[in-house]
Structure 1
């Protein structure tokens, strides 16, 4: 189970963008993050320290050896959690539900942005996809599905060599599986 401080740290909108940027581009300098995310250097530095306290990012040596610059990378690849993990603490459960709402908003905002821009020249070769299904599952089987999907996604991510010269664009993947009525 994730600590609530980790969940609330990552689910701040700017911190989530910073986490995603570092996942995609690897170790980066604060000023590069600032430019890429159109945010002030001081704000980026503050939010990096918040993510560092939560154990989500870490400082790294400047690859050029310059001690005057601040470089950061992700300390972990992702989070898997449920708001239900915090049922024993009403305060943490409230924070977890808000982080969950923020995460869902982010997911659907990204999906809407894709649909608005999917015919732009930058995405001409990308189809995107949508899939859904309905099945029967026990709580343990639903947990098993979650773990299998996570393993598949991580295997797929690790199979891609971003240095092979192919043109790529960042892609966002999200999946939800939950009890439902037909």
Structure 2
């Protein structure tokens, strides 16, 4: 179960984009983040400090040793929570809103892809399925999907000289009515 302060920190739209960028590119200078998001350095620094307070990012030394530049990296790479994990009604409400914000983030990415896909040479994919399952079987599906994605990501050799593009993958599995 995530501490509610972590969930609150990561559910902000700009902070989520910062997390995603640090995940994809590794340690990054605050000015580079500000330019990438067309934001003020002070604003990005504020959000980085909020993420640092929640234990999500940490400040690191500049690769070139320049102490004038502020560099940041992720302290952790995944977050899992359910609104059902919280006894406090206020915390449960915040966790549910964070879940909604996460889904909006995912759907916004998908909509952006569909807007640019007709002009893109790259192809994406869509998949969905229906099945009967117990809660334990659904949890096992989640574990296996996470393991598969981790294995796939770990097998990519970024030193082979091939041109790569950032790829976003998401899937949802949940009880539903038929």
1:43 matched to 2:43? The reply is yes
- Spell out, residue by residue over 1:63-118, the C-alpha distance to the aligned partner (whole angstroms, 9 max, x if none): 101111110011111112222222x1101101001111111111111111100100
1:152 positional shift? 1.4
Distance 2:68 2:144 in 1: 43
Contact residue 81 and residue 95 of structure 2 kept, 8 A: no
What is the correspondence of 1:23-172 to structure 2 with a 5 Å cutoff? 23-86=23-86, 88-120=87-119, 123-124=120-121, 126-172=122-168
1:171 positional shift? 1.2
Distance 1:180 1:10 in 2: 27
Q: CA RMSD in A?
A: 1.1
* Structure 2 residue ranges without an equivalent (≥5): none
Distance 1:116 1:149 in 2: 27
In the alignment of these two chains, the number of paired residues is 178
Distance 2:134 2:74 in 1: 34
Distance 1:7 1:84 in 2: 14
* Structure 1 residue ranges without an equivalent (≥5): none
- The TM-score, its normalising length taken from structure 1, stands at 0.94
